[in-house]
Amino acid sequence: MRFRDRHDAGQQLARQLMAYAGNPNVWVLALPRGGVPVAFEVAQALAVPLDICVVRKLGVPGQPELAMGAIATGGVCILNPAVIQELSIREAEIEAVIQRELKELSRRERLYRGDRPLPDLSGRTVILIDDGLATGATLRAAIAALQSRQPQRLIGAAPVAAHTAVQELRDQVDEIVVTLAPHALHAIGLWYDDFSQTSDAEVQRLLSLAWTMQSPGG
């Protein structure tokens, strides 16, 4: 089984989340950039609000697609000691990646959110969505960032995730929902016919459309 693109993946993922449809206490939060088209489809299908949780993967030097950790808004930094030790990544290299990604994190926060305030998630059910989970590092960073905002229930969701990532994340969320959880993931993009990069413009367009529809009279 493969997905045509992120929108198709979101529509399929939404079918597994229909128990939350129409619930006024539910919010969908997307992990930009690739998680936004997926989450947009889920939020539309469930008729619940959409927002973002800006997270940046910390890619291994020379292998940027392999995560050695992740950072999120609010000073959250999650590292993967196993990857760092296995690849003998030096502390100076880690710090250089963190500083670079912090700049990109700030840029994306300004670009995507502007002056729009963070939603009040206290006591709510939050569905965190990415387009795929390889190590789960970005989702773990997002989970850590959201803890201080006191959601009542936290759900991690993705169209495809490595089987090991699903097992490791079960203890960190109230529920984990994935459409595919292969034992041999290899790469998230292999499970999509079209896995072209989601642009900043597309993220802005989908968020603007969702926010317009959520506003009174939208």
Task: Give pLDDT, residue 60.
Answer: 94
Mean pLDDT for 4-23 is 98
Q: Name the least confident of 20-24, 134-138, 211-215.
A: 211-215
pLDDT one-digit tens code per residue, 166-175: 999 999 999 9
User: In this model, does residue 194 exceed pLDDT 60?
Assistant: yes
List the domain boundaries for the chain: 6-212
- Identify whether the C-beta of residue 142 lies closer than 8 Å to the C-beta of residue 52: no
Task: Give pLDDT, residue 42.
Answer: 98
Task: Give pLDDT, residue 130.
Answer: 97
Task: Give pLDDT, residue 215.
Answer: 65
Task: Give pLDDT, residue 64.
Answer: 85
User: In this model, does residue 217 exceed pLDDT 60?
Assistant: no
User: In this model, does residue 218 exceed pLDDT 80?
Assistant: no
Task: Give pLDDT, residue 216.
Answer: 59
How many C-beta atoms lie closer than 10 Å to residue 109's C-beta? 14
pLDDT one-digit tens code per residue, 43-66: 999 999 999 999 888 999 998 878
Cα 95 to chain centroid, rounded: 23
pLDDT one-digit tens code per residue, 64-98: 878 899 898 878 898 989 999 999 999 999 999 99
Task: Give pLDDT, residue 205.
Answer: 96
pLDDT, mean over the chain: 93
User: In this model, does residue 115 exceed pLDDT 90?
Assistant: no
The top-level CATH class assigned to 6-212 is: alpha beta
Which residue shows structure tokens 């609010």? 74
- In terms of pLDDT, which residue wins out, 65 or 162? 162
How many C-beta atoms lie closer than 10 Å to residue 96's C-beta? 12
HEC secondary structure over the chain = CCECCHHHHHHHHHHCCHHHCCCCCEEEEECCCCHHHHHHHHHHHHCCCEEECCEEEEEECCEEEEEEEEEECCCEEEECHHHHHHCCCCHHHHHHHHHHHHHHHHHHHHHHHCCCCCCCCCCCEEEEECCCECCCHHHHHHHHHHHCCCCCEEEEEEEEECHHHHHHHCCCCCEEEEEECCCCCCCHHHHECCCCCCCHHHHHHHHHHHHHHHCCCC
Can you read off the two tokens belonging to residue 195? 């896995």
End-to-end CA gap in the chain: 36
User: pTM to 2 decimals?
Assistant: 0.89
How many C-beta atoms lie closer than 10 Å to residue 210's C-beta? 22
Which pLDDT band, with edges at 50, 70 and 90, does 118 fall under?
confident
Task: Give pLDDT, residue 152.
Answer: 96
- Identify whether the C-beta of residue 192 lies closer than 8 Å to the C-beta of residue 9: yes
